[in-house]
Structure 1
Amino acid sequence: MRKELKIISLSEIKTEEVKWLWYPYIPFGKVTIVQGDPGEGKTTFVLSVIAALTHGETLPECETGLPPMNVIYQTAEDGLADTIKPRLEAAGADCTRVQTIDDSRSMLTLTDQRLEEAIHSTDAGLLVLDPLQAYLGSGVDMHRANEIRPIMKKLSAVAERTGCAVVLIGHMNKASGMKSGYRGLGSIDFTAAARSILVVGRIQDEPTVRVIAQSKNSLAPEGKSIAFELAPEHGFQWKGACEITVDELLSGGGQVQTKTMQMEDELKKMLNAGEISAEAIRIRADELGISERTLKIAKKNLGIVSAKRGDQWYWKLTKGVRV
């Protein structure tokens, strides 16, 4: 059958601005890939982002947060009851806003119509599939471009029609020394279709610290790398922007020093001998060029408590904080 030719003039296309779930890391209506080696904290990072979104909290490097939103989270690797929900609860998520599609009778795929139906029925602002390789469908060779390209095109179309941000979590291959764009498992068409790619990795000299570095951004300048910590005593904590590059992250090199970490160190020194007025701490933060928001994050990370006496507030360290 002869295909009908249809020409569209760009003059007829209405110009639209890109909307962002988290600028410049995760756009609405587009596909974002979060990738890294197993055990590097990809899922924990995404769950922490989800927790913040369900409460409308401000994400790192943003001035303000969005209204609380609903999220669809699909996983083929971890149990919902014994792993995902406990992690979300630990991150402080509003679990009434986190939904999942029941695919116990029919496995979900990236081209499944239920994805778009679920986005509409839940009014979800974010859809996460973890890991992406599990949702390709039986018989699909993830290394063949002619098979991956139409799948990613259909998924991208769903994201665009619904305006929902789609995040795919994926593993990386073991080919060290290659450019970051070629480190994802499978066809390069995964990378080509994504508008943003975030790489999660750890620093060799700081085993509890992880870094998110943006290796691709087709819609805006690449964002600063962002550090977070995964420590047994306190779990996940944001540590702020840092200068680690994608290449340094993939090689395990570089050093992480953020404004949040600097303020944490300063607070430990100041409060080691006892409580200090909040005003004195703010003056010191100003001297160091630390913003009010970063100061609040450092305070939260250290578990510092406030007490009011008279007309002044005082800060002090809680027991168990190492100085």
Structure 2
Amino acid sequence: MTWVWENWLAQGKLHVLAGAPGQGKTTLALAMAATITAGGLWPDGSRSSLGNVLVWSGEDHYADTLLPRLIAMGADRSRVFFVTGARISGELLTFDPARDLNQLLRAIEKIGGINLLVVDPIVSAVAGDSHKNTEVRRALQPLVDLAAHCNCAALGISHFSKGGQGQDPTQRVVGSVAFSAVARVVMVAAKMRSEDGKDRRILARSKSNIGPDDGGFEYHIEQTEALPGIQASYIAWGDAVAGTARELLTEPDDGASGPSESADKSAQDEAEEFLIELLKDGPSPTKHVETEAKAAGLAWRTVRRASDTLGVKKRKTEGAWYWSKSNLSNEVVQLVQHSNVGQVGQVDGQHEIKPEDSNILNGESSESSDEMESSDVEFL
């Protein structure tokens, strides 16, 4: 077995990272990506070998969300590639993992040296019913095959189903149990309250067919100014923790007699807490808010009422609506345009960062730019 991160990320295998809304799942995945591209240190102190990473996200835009986070975590941007669309019969369409994995394979082969592929969310790879085992297994097999063929670690991001505290975290991954069954390693992220009353976040292994299936690391989500005027979240790793995921992610008072605190809260209160947690790291696309709310079991009408109560700002930026607790969302794309990252342009309704120097995130090497131009998958 060859590891990208020993006992956590294996080359040629499918992994799942799941957790409740607001736990920084995407930021955790980007932290792993940044470590790989920079040959940095993993939380256990081991050093990563250098490699390229490819990211597809259906929930966050790379220019105003993903790229600033990578910058904040010290990624080598020349080694990061974003999938931005699929070109089919000359028409540029939104990339669909359930439809375009063959094209993605060709793109990966052209890039070369891909050690990590991030698919966010992994449920997007399923065209059918994500709650049916047979359909999920059939839909995930091409992704499993792609990871094996390219010898890269594929990491799919998922959510926890509502409730289920105290259960095996692997069983809480939303959708069919096949998501966890097909993955060789399942990681879970959660914020728990320790016995001293302080909140702590933990990344733990809840399943592994190829190595240890226990233990984890504390982590903190911090903020920094990644670019002038642009705040971005990043992961600060803490101490290693021992125990199974079920033990680590169970609150001290879980299972106590009497009604729980959450049972006394109204749906409106839960929705307000959900929004405060989700938006504290910065603006979020309305589509992403809606997806996370659904995963949390919250009615959309309740979330909208909660947003009005909290005074959440809703602004349209570059054709997409964003929810925010600040005025940042109205300025993000404009600020990126004037940063040293590159210029944001429009290509058939898709954003792309046009490189201006060798330090800019880009998906075309000088020796293969003509070839990439005709690729079936558009990426940076």
- The TM-score with structure 2 as length reference comes to 0.58
Matched, 1:47 2:47: no
- Name the counterpart of 1:206: 198
Query: For the residues of structure 1 that align with 2:129 and 2:245, how far apart are their CA atoms?
Result: 28
Partner of 1:37: 20
Matching residue's letter, 2:125: Y
- Structure 2: distance between partners of 1:95 and 1:53: 11
**Using a 3 Å threshold, how does the CA distance of structure 1 residues 197 and 244 change in structure 2: closer, same or farther?**
same
Q: Which amino acid aligns with 2:184?
A: R
Task: Kindly state the Cα deviation for residue 56 of structure 1 after the two structures are TM-superposed.
Answer: 0.7
SS in 1 for 2:48: coil
Mapped to 2, the partners of 1:250 and 1:58 lie a distance apart of 25
Question: 1:90 and 1:116 mapped to 2: Cα distance?
Answer: 29
Cα distance in 2 between the residues matched to 1:100 and 1:45: 17
Pairing 1:222–2:204 present: no
In structure 2, list runs of 5 or more residues that go unmatched.
86-91, 225-232, 254-380
Q: Does 2:106 correspond to 1:117?
A: yes
1:83 is aligned to 65
Structure 1 residues 278-289: aligned runs within 5 Å: none
Q: Is 1:108 the counterpart of 2:99 in the alignment?
A: no
2:154 is aligned to 166
Q: Deviation at 1:31?
A: 0.1
Does 2:134 match 1:135? no
Q: 1 CA distance for matches of 2:211 and 2:205?
A: 11
TM-superposed CA distance for 1:238, in Å, is 1.1
Q: Of 61, 69, 81, which residue of structure 2 is paired with 1:99? A: 81
Alignment coverage as a number of residue pairs: 233
Q: Quick one: which amino acid aligns to residue 71 of structure 1?
A: V
Could you say what the CA RMSD is over the residues aligned between the two structures, in angstroms? 2.0
Structure 2 distance, partners of 1:229, 1:163, is: 31
Q: Which of 176, 184, 190 is matched with 2:173 structurally? A: 184
Q: CA deviation at 1:96?
A: 1.5
User: 1 CA distance for matches of 2:156 and 2:162?
Assistant: 19
1:312 alignment counterpart: none
Residue of structure 1 in register with 2:346 after alignment: none
Asked if 2 retains the 8 angstrom alpha-carbon contact of 1:24 and 1:220, the reply is yes
SS at match of 2:206: strand
* Alignment match, 1:262: none
Q: Which runs of 4+ in 1 moved over 6 A?
A: none
Question: Normalising by the residue count of structure 1, what TM-score does the alignment of the two structures yield?
Answer: 0.67
Which amino acid is the alignment partner of residue 219 of structure 1?
I
SS at match of 1:251: coil
Aligned counterparts of 1:106 and 1:42: Cα–Cα separation in 2: 23
Aligned mates of 1:87, 1:54 — CA distance in 2: 14
Amino acid at match of 1:216: K
Write the letter of the residue equivalent to 1:227. Answer: E
Kindly provide the amino acid, as one letter, of the partner of residue 145 in structure 1: N
Pair 1:144 & 2:132 matched: yes
Could you tell me how far apart the structure 2 residues matched to 1:110 and 1:238 are?
Answer: 34
Distance across 2 between alignment mates of 1:132 and 1:171: 10
Letter in 1 for 2:117: L
Cα 1:248–1:221 shift into 2, 3 Å: closer
In structure 1, distance between residues paired with 2:162 and 2:156: 19
Per-residue deviation at 1:47? Answer: 0.9
Identity rate, percent:
30
Work out the CA distance in 2 between the residues paired with 1:116 and 1:134: 17
Q: What corresponds to 1:301 in structure 2?
A: none
* Cα shift at 1:35: 0.4
For the pair shown, the structure with the greater C-alpha radius of gyration is 1
AA partner of residue 247 (structure 1): R
Please state whether the residue corresponding to 2:249 is helix, strand or coil: helix
Contact 2:215 2:245 in 1 (8 A): no
Gaps of 5+ in 1: 1-17, 255-323
> Are the counterparts in 1 of residues 214 and 242 from structure 2 also a CA contact under 8 Å?
no
For CA contacts below 8 A with separation 6 or more, give which structure has more relative contact order: 2
| Residues 12, 153 of structure 2: 8 Å contact kept | yes
Deviations 1:227-265 (A, max 9, x none): 1112457953111311253124433349xxxxxxxxxxx
> Which of the two has greater strand per residue?
2
Indicate the residue corresponding to 1:238 in structure 2.
237
Structure 1 CA distance for aligned equivalents of residues 234 and 169 of structure 2: 28
